[in-house]
Amino acid sequence: MKSRLIFSFAAAFLIAYGSLAAESPELVSVKKPYDQSHKNKAGTPTILYRGGAVMTGPPVNVYLIYYGDVPSGSQSIINTFFTDLRTSPNSFFPVNDTYYDSTGAKVNSIFDFAPITANVYIDNPPSLGTQIGSKDIPKIVRNAIEAPNGLPADEDGVYFVLTAPTVSAAGFCRSYCAYHTSSTGIVNGKNIKFALVPDPGNQCGGCDGNVAIYGQNVTPNGDPGADEMTDSIIHELSETVTDPLGTGWLTSNGEEDGDLCNFVYGTSLITSPNGATANVTMNGHFYLIQEIWTNVSPQQCAR
């Protein structure tokens, strides 16, 4: 099943981590859980350009693959978040346009995006079952592309695999909260970029800022899974536009602009109507989403 929505963005790839390294044929860049993300943090890092690709345009499509029985309310929150991230003046995403390629062309700011149609594919019942590993994620993307009336094979797009809370993804919550990568094996002759963002539900407080940072049992939209996924989505989306192939913007130890601000929400906090901590309203909707490392002096987490 496929529907069409209005929003857009860009790609994914990178660096092996934890249990994924042994399981996945691709290199991946992960968003670490809170306890791992904040170990051995010292000093101010420097993010450097490695000479490779960044996403400078034209505007690229985001493709959403809802895998398993993802609740309709969760889908609505995520779909709305992408629209808000694209259209709201309070969006954090334009921080990424402080990055550029070897020609000086900047990463495509959200405000440069023309209104174009993104695609949503519903993979339910889940095509590969409810217990999946990292080797299955490219197959899920391939299935969505090859299905009748499926998604287009877009080398300049990014495919988000968004799993239901009833789906178990190997290593999730222990080794990672989300990750992004790319593969030349999904579509012959094309490098397809994709990200995995599982739904943690109430089972993974280490990936949820409201739980891990603020000790709360409520999230801004009352949906712990979808609310955490929005935080992971901006992390993965920001990293992929600034470093789609692992040769763009990285620190000396391989961290990207999302990693440097993982679980950093700033000091301008607000309270959502249900009492949860948030740090931004976009088009009247409340979110707790991390800041992004800016590539202007002084380099720091920003919005």
Judge whether residue 183 has pLDDT over 80: yes
Judge whether residue 58 has pLDDT over 80: no
pLDDT in tens, 137-152: 999 999 999 999 899 9
pLDDT confidence of residue 21: 45
| Cβ(236)–Cβ(55) below 8 Å | no
Of 33 and 18, the one with more pLDDT: 33
Interval 185-199 mean pLDDT: 94
Dihedral (CA of 36, 38, 40, 41) sign? positive
pLDDT confidence of residue 155: 85
pLDDT confidence of residue 245: 85
Interval 168-184 mean pLDDT: 94
pLDDT confidence of residue 4: 39
Instruction: Find the range with the poorest average confidence among 43-57, 179-193, 255-269.
Output: 43-57
**Residue 262 has which token pair?**
């993982």
pLDDT confidence of residue 2: 46
Interval 68-92 mean pLDDT: 93
pLDDT in tens, 285-296: 999 999 999 999
pLDDT in tens, 273-283: 999 999 999 99
d(CA 244, CA 29): 10
pLDDT confidence of residue 112: 40
Confidence of residue 16 (pLDDT cuts 50, 70, 90): very low
How far is the first Cα of the chain from the last one, in angstroms, to the nearest whole number? 36
Burial class (CB in 10 A: 0-12, 13-18, 19+), 215: exposed
pLDDT in tens, 223-249: 999 999 999 999 999 998 899 888 999
pLDDT confidence of residue 14: 37
Judge whether residue 131 has pLDDT over 60: yes
pLDDT in tens, 99-128: 999 999 998 765 443 344 458 999 999 999
Amino acid identity for residue 56 in this structure? T
Domain-by-domain residue ranges, the chain? 2-302
3-state SS track over the chain: CEEEEECCECCCCCCCCHHHHHHCCCCCEEECCHHHHCCCCCCCCCCEECCCCCCCCCCECEEEEEECCCCHHHHHHHHHHHHHHHHCCCCCHHHHHHCECCCCCECCCHHHCCCCEEEEEEECCCCCCCEECCCHHHHHHHHHHHCCCCCCCCCCCEEEEEECCCCEECCECCCECEEEEEEEEEECCEEEEEEEECCCCCCCHHHCHHHHCCCCCCCCCCCHHHHHHHHHHHHHHHHHHHCCCCCCEECCCCCCCCHHHCCCCCCCCEECCCCCEECEEECCEEECCCCEECCCCCCCEEC
Interval 47-53 mean pLDDT: 94
Interval 54-67 mean pLDDT: 84
pLDDT confidence of residue 12: 32
Judge whether residue 181 has pLDDT over 50: yes
Of 8, 9, 6, nearest in space to 242 by CA:
9
Confidence of residue 43 (pLDDT cuts 50, 70, 90): low
What does pLDDT average to over the chain? Answer: 86
Interval 154-172 mean pLDDT: 93
Of 10 and 221, the one with more pLDDT: 221
